[in-house]
Amino acid sequence: MHISKSEWLGVAVCFGALASMPNTVVKNSPVAMTTVKADTSYVENKSYGVDVSSFQSTDMSNYAQNGAKYAFVKTTEGTWYTNPKASGQVSSALANNMMTMSYHFAVFGNDAQKASAEANYAVNASRNVGVPAGSYVVCDWEAGDGNNINGPVEANTDAILSFMDTVNANGYKPMLYSGAYLMRNKIDTDRVVAKYPNSLWVASYATMGRIDEPDFEYFPSMNGVAIWQFTHNWRGLHVDGNINVLPLSKGGVSQAPSSVPATPSVDINQVIASASQSVAQKEQPAITSTTTDTNQDVPFTAVGRVNYVPGYGIMLWGQPGYKNALNRYLPHGSRWKIFKKRYINGSVYYNLGGSQWVDGKYIIIE
């Protein structure tokens, strides 16, 4: 989801849990170009939505015509950046019958005091651009722009809850967005959903190409998920695509259990149905002799090509496993010599020389 404060989209979202899966066939089905007449205060489950920043236009009509019933608009980052298009995007989303909410890119890391300050900044900006009271204001907690994701899990979670508490105290509904890998490894999501049930918005992609419809065999099963971001390029519109697995309302997620079974997935309104077992199997790939998690370097020489989104890039890391972001990006389609690799939690990371690593799921070996 993240666009940097200069609005250059390039941070690779952390989706480690699905890295070893093969790419799926993209479903590019015809789309009827009619605006969905959605209630702007309620969205039924299994509905599509988008999230936008200044990278996208202020005109949201095309998303609505393609079936989006809700929109998350980036309003802020840290305590210094406000999206100059936010007001126009909010107005257009509401005019197109889309339930309209906001998100804030966090840079507070594990600092609870800074988290509260950022939440106040986000809430004020959301009010100013017309996000209706009682709507979601989301904490987007991921790598990039100096956000430290490598603090202790409990401290990370304390800070995130501080943000969410401040949002709640100001009359908006808190939600947490992050990648599946970070939610499983860097955040105590059990604490989050215990306080704010069904408040998780998780990102995890089956492939980095265009996806029109989500394949629930790749759903990242975990407790408390309300929304799944399943693609970076929904229906060829170059916008993040999401599907809510629970009904959404301006006052929050509609009534549902405070805890959702992890396996089978979120069995709310039979969203996952019979696919849940294959989800569990795919999320825990068998470790073979070629993918042993030794956490040690394995000699490997090859040329790899970046396979991301045209016009964007992937983050270069100082250490494998999304550690020590170098704030440098390798553009889609560029080719690099690989010197070694390392397996961590079933995911492969490639070394490009020295302390320079990339996530292997974005690399095609030539």
Average pLDDT per block of 10 residues along the chain, 366 residues long: 44 32 37 49 93 96 97 97 98 97 98 98 98 97 92 98 98 96 94 96 87 89 93 94 93 43 34 36 33 72 82 83 81 86 88 91 87
267 and 302 both lie in a single domain:
no
Could you give the C-alpha distances from 80 to 118, 148, 172, 216, 227, in angstroms and in order? Answer: 9, 17, 21, 38, 28
156 and 243 both lie in a single domain:
yes
pLDDT computed for residue 34 by the predictor:
43
Instruction: Find residue 227's DSSP bridge partners.
Output: 201, 244
What total number of domains does the chain contain? 2
Cβ count near 310 (within 10 Å): 9
Rounded Cα distance between 149 and 146, Å, is: 9
Tell me the residue range of the domain where 356 lies.
298-365
Please tell me which residue in 142, 212, 217, 240 is annotated as part of the active site.
142
Residue 159 — φ and ψ, nearest 5°? -65, -45
User: Helix (H, G, I), strand (E, B), or coil: what is residue 61?
Assistant: helix
In a domain, 290, yes or no: no
Please write the tens of the pLDDT for every residue from 33-64: 444 444 588 999 999 999 999 999 999 999 99
Cβ count near 31 (within 10 Å): 13
Half-sphere exposure of 221 (CA within 13 A, CB side): 24
212 assigned to active site? no
Nearest C-alpha neighbor of 46 from the set 230, 193, 278, 281: 230
264 and 342 both lie in a single domain:
no
Q: Which of 218, 251, 282 is the last residue of a domain?
A: 282
340 and 214 both lie in a single domain:
no
DSSP 281-309: HHHSPPP-TTS----S-EEEEEEEEE-S-
Q: Which of 282, 317, 345 is the last residue of a domain?
A: 282
Please tell me which residue in 51, 145, 240, 359 is annotated as part of the active site.
51
pLDDT computed for residue 2 by the predictor:
53
Is the pTM here over 0.85, yes or no? no
| Separate counts of helices (H) and strands (E) for the chain | 7, 19
44 assigned to active site? no
324 and 217 both lie in a single domain:
no
